[in-house]
Amino acid sequence: MAEIDPRLREDVHLLGELLGEAIASQFGAEFVAEIERIRKGAKAARRGSSEGSEQLHSSLAALDEDELLPVARAFGQFLNLANIAEQHHSIRRRRAQDPLPFPSRALGELLQRLLAGGHSAEALARQLARLDIELVLTAHPTEVARRTLIQKYDGIAAALADKDHADLLPEEREQLLQRLRRLIAEAWHTDEIRRSRPTPVDEAKWGFAVIEHSLWQALPAFLRHVDGQLKAATGLRLPLSAAPVRFASWMGGDRDGNPNVTAVVTREVLLLARWMAADLYLRDIEQLAADLSMQAASKELLARSEESDEPYRCLLKQLRERLRATRRWAEQALEQEVAPGPLVLGDNRELLEPLELCYHSLHECGLGVIAEGNLLDTIRRAATFGLFLLRLDIRQDSSRHAAALGEITDYLGLGHYTEWDEPTRVAFLQRELDSRRPLLPQSHRPSADTAEVLATCRVVAQAPAASIGSYVISMAGAASDVLAVQLLLKEAGVQRSLRVVPLFETLADLDNAAPTLMQLLALPGYRARLQGPQEVMIGYSDSAKDAGTTAAAWAQYRAQERLVAICAAEGIELLLFHGRGGTIGRGGAPAHAAILSQPPGSVAGRFRTTEQGEMIRFKFGLPALAEQNLNLYLAAVLEATLLPPPAPQPAWRETMDRLAADGVTAYRAVVREHPQFVEYFRQATPEQELGRLPLGSRPAKRREGGVESLRAIPWIFAWTQTRLMLPAWLGWETALQQALARGEQALLGEMRAHWPFFRTRIDMLEMVLAKADAGIASLYDQRLVSDELRPLGQHLRDLLSQSVAVVLGLTAQSQLLSHSPETRESISVRDAYLDPLHLLQVELLARSRGFSGTEPAALEQALLVSVAGIAAGLRNTG
Dist CA 450 CA 256 (whole Å): 14
pLDDT for position 582: 47
Which alpha helices (H) appear in 711-856, and where do they start and end?
712-722, 726-729, 732-741, 745-754, 756-771, 774-784, 790-811, 821-850
User: Angle 68-91/623-642 helices, nearest 10 degrees?
Assistant: 60
pLDDT band (50, 70, 90) for residue 585: very low
**CB of 741 closer than 8 Å to CB of 655:** no
Dist CA 201 CA 252 (whole Å): 6
Helix (H) or strand (E) run with residue 314 in it? helix 311-335
Dist CA 655 CA 408 (whole Å): 49
**CB of 433 closer than 8 Å to CB of 490:** yes
pLDDT of 634 higher than 60: yes
What are the tens digits of pLDDT across the range 142-180?
Answer: 455 567 788 898 899 999 999 988 788 999 999 999 999
Write the single-letter amino acid at 77: Q
Write down the catalytic residue from 43, 140, 592, 838: 140
Write the single-letter amino acid at 547: A
pLDDT of 126 higher than 60: yes
**CB of 296 closer than 8 Å to CB of 365:** yes
What are the tens digits of pLDDT across the range 642-669?
Answer: 999 999 999 999 999 999 999 999 999 9
Dist CA 65 CA 556 (whole Å): 49
Dist CA 288 CA 359 (whole Å): 11
What are the tens digits of pLDDT across the range 12-47?
Answer: 899 999 999 999 999 999 999 999 898 888 888 888
End-to-end CA distance of the chain: 29
Question: How many Cβ atoms are within 10 Å of 630's Cβ, its own excluded?
Answer: 26
In the chain, DSSP finds a helix count (H) and a strand count (E) of: 40, 8
Ordered DSSP codes for 439-490 = SS-TT----HHHHHHHHHHHHHHHS-GGGEEEEEEET--SHHHHHHHHHHHH
Dist CA 607 CA 673 (whole Å): 38
pLDDT for position 696: 58
Q: What share of the chain is helix, strand, coil (3-state, %, to 5)?
A: 65, 5, 25
pLDDT band (50, 70, 90) for residue 133: very high
Residue 504: alpha-carbon gap to chain centroid: 19
How large is the average pLDDT for residues 810-825? 88
Dist CA 547 CA 254 (whole Å): 24
Residue % of the chain over a pLDDT of 90: 71
- The domains located in the chain, with CATH, are 271-384 (1.20.1440.90), 395-591+599-605 (no CATH), 650-819 (no CATH)
Selection from 7-11, 299-303, 713-717 with the highest mean pLDDT = 299-303
Residue % of the chain over a pLDDT of 70: 94
What are the tens digits of pLDDT across the range 818-841?
Answer: 888 888 888 888 888 899 999 999
Q: Report which of residues 584 and 783 the model is more confident about.
A: 783
Write down the catalytic residue from 545, 578, 771, 838: 545
pLDDT band (50, 70, 90) for residue 588: very low
In this structure, of 209-213, 517-521, 827-831, the range with the lowest mean pLDDT score is: 827-831
User: Angle 170-188/147-163 helices, nearest 10 degrees?
Assistant: 160
pLDDT band (50, 70, 90) for residue 587: very low
pLDDT band (50, 70, 90) for residue 699: low
Active site residue 545: yes
Write the single-letter amino acid at 362: L
In sequence order, the 6+-apart residues with CB closer than 8 A to the CB of 597 are 589, 645, 756, 757, 759, 760, 761
How large is the average pLDDT for residues 374-402? 97
Dist CA 805 CA 814 (whole Å): 9
The chain-wide mean pLDDT, for the chain, equals 91
| pTM recorded for the entire structure | 0.92
pLDDT of 89 higher than 80: yes
Q: Report which of residues 592 and 454 the model is more confident about.
A: 454
How large is the average pLDDT for residues 777-789? 96
pLDDT for position 65: 82
Dist CA 737 CA 739 (whole Å): 5
